[in-house]
Structures are given as structure tokens and as C-alpha cells.
């Protein structure tokens, strides 16, 4: 956790729910615990495989910045679902009032005497969430007029499965909307 002095990073592992032929996103948050403006940039050992937004920026004093990492669709699963990809977050104190436009490669040059902090993040593949298994529909004979509960006040298995499917769909849609809002917000900040 080398960057703890300037930036706290959470989580330290990027967990991607691995699925073939699907773009998958994971995120992490940078927290500036200092009273300084902190410039950062994110690098990876596999740049063709990932898109990072924003890949550099300035975290204001006592503020946070959310980073979204999108992994390109995979054609095949890696052996043993192991991933050797890594990310490096470099951070450096910037001048007060600095903006992303002020960031330049020289800021992160340790040879020039700059105090640059490095923090490495691992990529981990996890199994995607399993969709609810289909439950056979129960007979409608003798059912009560209350469609959502049985006589004893408990939900039937088919009602629970239907509700679970709806909940997963709402969660998926919410995640998609949140991702689009973050992208829109990032675009508004840069322009």
C-alpha cells in the first residue's frame, strides 16, 4: 500500500465477474486524506485489454475520485481463471488549484526529484453471479384470491423466484444507469 500517504485506494484488488464475450467493469476509489491537491495517473501492464476512466486526474483535498476499469470482451477463459494483469496508481502532490489539464509526464518523473508514490492493484477473476434457477410453476387449483401469499402468509417458491428475477433485472439496470451517469459526469468535468 505505497500510496497510503497521499491517496487511500479501495479496494486493492479489481474483481471482475468473468464472462466470455462480455465487456466487464470494476471500479475503485481514490481517497485524498491530505490537505494537498494530489495528481494521479493509472497504468496497466496490459493496456490493450483495459479502458480506465479517468486514467489521470487531480483529487482535491479531503475528496474522493471513482475510477472505472473496463475489461474488453474475452474470447477464452484464462487457465485456472488466474490473471497476471496489474494496475499501478501513481500519485504526486500537485500545486493548489491544479486541474487535470495541468498534469504532465514530468510530474511523475522520479529522476527529476519528484516524490512519486506507487500503489499496485491486482486483477482477480470471480465467478459471475448465478441467475436464479427456474422453479416449476405450481398448480393454480385451490389458490386463494390473494395472488401474492399462500394461506399461511408465506410466499410460494414460484413467487419468490419471479421476485428474485425482477430484483436481479432492476439491479442490472441500476448498475448500467450508474455507470452511464459516472461517464456523463466525468465528461462534464473534463469539458
Q: Is the dihedral of CA 156, 162, 166, 169 positive or negative?
A: positive
The total domain count for the chain is 2
Cα atoms in the 13 Å half-sphere on the side-chain side of 41: 15
What are the C-alpha distances in Å from 122 to residues 3, 39, 87, 91, 127?
A: 15, 21, 7, 17, 16
Burial 173-186 (b: 16+ CB within 10 A, else e): eeeeeeeeebeeeb
Q: Does 180 share its domain with 95?
A: no
Q: Does 167 share its domain with 111?
A: no
Q: Does 122 share its domain with 135?
A: no
pLDDT at residue number 129 = 74
Q: Does 101 share its domain with 13?
A: yes
Residues pairing with 121 in the sheet: 87
Q: Does 112 share its domain with 27?
A: yes
Q: Does 172 share its domain with 189?
A: yes
Q: Does 82 share its domain with 104?
A: yes
Phi, psi (rounded to 5 degrees) for 48: -75, -20
The pTM for the full model equals: 0.66
Alpha-carbon gap, residue 48 to 45, rounded angstroms: 9
pLDDT at residue number 5 = 86
pLDDT at residue number 39 = 98
Q: Does 86 share its domain with 175?
A: no
Of 108, 128, 148, which one is at a domain's C-terminal end? Answer: 128
Q: Does 93 share its domain with 150?
A: no
Q: Does 81 share its domain with 143?
A: no
pLDDT by residue for the chain (191 residues), tens only, comes to 444 589 999 999 999 999 999 999 999 999 999 999 999 999 999 999 999 999 999 999 999 999 999 999 999 988 888 999 999 999 999 999 999 999 999 999 999 899 999 999 999 999 887 777 676 655 555 544 444 444 445 555 555 555 555 544 555 566 666 666 666 665 555 54
User: Nine-digit cell at 144?
Assistant: 386463494
pLDDT at residue number 139 = 52
What are the C-alpha distances in Å from 96 to residues 3, 4, 30, 101?
A: 19, 20, 18, 13
Of 128, 146, 169, which one is at a domain's C-terminal end? Answer: 128
Of 128, 147, 170, which one is at a domain's C-terminal end? Answer: 128
Q: What CATH number does the domain containing 44 carry?
A: 2.60.40.10
- Residue ranges making up the domain that contains 163: 130-191
Nearest-Å Rg of the Cα atoms of the chain is 23
pLDDT at residue number 3 = 41
Coil/strand/helix, residue 183:
helix
Amino acid at each position: 500500500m505505497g500510496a497510503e500517504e497521499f491517496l487511500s485506494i479501495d479496494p486493492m484488488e479489481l474483481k471482475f465477474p468473468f464472462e466470455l464475450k462480455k465487456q466487464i467493469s470494476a471500479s475503485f476509489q481514490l481517497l485524498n486524506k491530505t490537505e494537498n491537491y494530489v495528481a494521479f495517473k493509472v497504468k496497466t501492464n496490459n493496456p490493450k485489454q483495459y479502458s480506465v476512466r479517468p486514467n489521470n486526474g487531480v483529487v482535491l483535498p479531503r475528496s474522493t475520485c471513482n475510477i472505472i476499469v473496463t475489461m474488453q470482451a474475452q474470447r477464452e477463459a484464462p487457465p485456472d481463471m488466474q490473471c497476471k494483469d496489474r494496475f499501478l496508481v501513481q500519485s504526486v502532490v500537485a500545486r493548489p488549484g491544479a486541474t487535470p489539464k495541468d498534469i504532465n509526464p514530468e510530474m511523475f518523473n522520479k529522476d527529476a526529484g519528484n516524490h512519486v508514490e506507487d500503489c499496485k492493484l491486482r486483477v482477480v477473476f470471480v465467478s459471475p453471479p448465478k441467475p436464479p434457477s427456474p422453479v416449476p410453476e405450481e398448480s393454480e387449483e385451490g389458490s386463494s384470491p390473494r395472488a401474492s401469499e399462500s394461506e399461511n402468509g408465506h410466499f410460494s417458491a414460484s413467487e419468490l423466484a419471479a421476485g428474485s428475477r425482477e430484483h436481479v433485472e432492476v439491479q442490472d439496470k441500476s448498475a448500467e444507469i450508474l455507470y452511464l451517469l459516472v461517464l456523463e459526469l466525468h465528461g462534464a468535468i473534463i469539458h
